[in-house]
Amino acid sequence: MTENDNGANCTGDEEIRNLSDLLVNHIGSDKKIVEVQTSRLTAPGENYGSIMLKLDIGVEGANGGNRQTLHMVAKKIPTLKMIQEIFNIQVTYKKEVAFYMTVVPALHEFQREMGIKDVIDCFAKCYGARISLDIDSDEVDEDAALILENLHTSGYKNVDRLLCFDLSTTRLILKDIANFHATVIALKLKKPEVFQKRVKAFCSDYIPMKDVVQPLLPILRRVLEENEKCKPLASKIRAWGEREDERKSREPFATLAHCDLWVNNMMQKFVEGVPISNKLVDFQIYNYRSAASDVFFFLFSSVQLEVLKRCLDSLLKFYHEHFISVLDMLKCDTSEFGFDAFLEEMKLEAEFEFGHALFFSTLIVQGKKRKSDLTDHSFDPEQMYKDINDTARRRAWYITFECDRRGWLY
């Protein structure tokens, strides 16, 4: 056990040194932190790329009055070097800090300048961030910390990834994604210099490690070969990221894409079972990509299979209608953003996103829940194949057959 600068006991990888400095702009110089209670926010096996901590921070005035408790979340880098390398934290952690500290404020400022009162609100509030205690360092180290609002205490929760999203929740999320994509495009069109400096400057490719994803390809092909319709298509399937070097952003639909919109990276607030608000989280691998890349991956990785079968076309139209409405509201020419052009983007993005969605849907979203960490079990292809549930199989068959039917499968 160690003790941080605020007197709170915590284990080594849960320690946040100089927390007061991180939060001074939020709590003010006239208040002080008197207590910090720290615990793990997510269970092992549910979040590999970072350590997520729950912070309950006792704050009071300089004279000991006005005591209050602040509920926050701290995101730290993973402890193991191997995981740091897999997730390329020297790039991805800096990107996430930049997203909350620079990109989001730029979008809000632009919207307000355009007369929008209710600015985009599908992100957690950020209270402070750093990559190191050394202000002159450009290296992310163990003292890196990103402090965000605790969405759980505001009533948000993750839908069980094994259940995926129903129709009403899917529509809520698509509306937020459309707002996000279109606002970035409007900023690009209206204020290109601001866009380049405060948004695009932080975009970079995330290429999955081949030695991690390539061994999984035979497992996915084996699943497809179980189905008579999909069996002839199995040999066409490529590993996620295999052709990333040939992937190019295309105008006019190029925007800031999240690139990882699966069920665990979104949280919703429900009132009597009805979703009323949504938050997007985990902005580590965003990039300058087609808006269709996020739509494709989100729908095929995280929406209930029966919803996809019934409503895929209407959901694509729903997204596009809201996308166009935001561009109109921000006084942009929408003549190049027609629905047929958007469907062509879906087809082009399938080159990369099909493998991405198939991999995630089959092995991650519907993957067996484990109490252990990613590094606590060796790779066993046969056991991984046996662990694939019937829902994952049906989704894999549907995704493959449907994309081939639409001409989206390469």
Mean pLDDT value across the chain: 91
Q: Classify the C-alpha dihedral 335-339-342-348 as positive or negative.
A: negative
Higher pLDDT, 43 or 215: 215
Q: ∠ at Cα 120 (341, 91), nearest 5°?
A: 80
Reading the block at residue 15, the tokens are 């320690």
The closest alpha carbon to 364, from 250, 214, 213, 253, belongs to 213
CATH code at 163-405:
3.90.1200
**pLDDT confidence tier of residue 209, bands split at 50, 70 and 90:** confident
Query: CA–CA separation, 339 vs 261, rounded Å?
Result: 22
> Are residues 283 and 342 in contact, defined by beta-carbon separation less than 8 angstroms?
no
CA distance 377 to 275: 37
Q: What pLDDT is attached to residue 10?
A: 46
**Residue environment code for 69-88, b if the CB has 16+ CB neighbours within 10 A, otherwise e:** ebebbbbbbbeeeebbebbb
252: cis peptide before it, omega within 30°? yes
Stretch 65-70: mean pLDDT, rounded? Answer: 90
**Residue 247 vs residue 91, higher pLDDT:** 91
pLDDT digits (tens, 9 = 90+) for 231-259: 999 998 998 887 665 567 899 999 999 99
Q: Domain limits of the chain?
A: 163-405
pTM: 0.93
Q: What percent of the chain has pLDDT over 70?
A: 92
User: In what helix (H) or strand (E) does residue 142 lie, and over which residues does it extend?
Assistant: none
- Tens-place pLDDT, residues 128-138: 999 999 999 99
**So what's the pLDDT on residue 390?**
96
> Model confidence at 6, in pLDDT bands (50, 70, 90)?
very low
pLDDT of 114 over the 90 cut: yes
Rounded Cα gap, residues 289 and 307, in angstroms: 26
pLDDT at 374: 47
| pLDDT band at residue 126 under the 50/70/90 scheme | very high
Q: Is 363 a residue whose pLDDT tops 90?
A: yes
Categorize the per-residue pLDDT at 62 as very low, low, confident or very high, splitting at 50, 70 and 90: confident
Judge whether residue 12 has pLDDT over 80: no
- For 338-353, what is each residue's pLDDT tens digit? 999 999 999 999 989 9
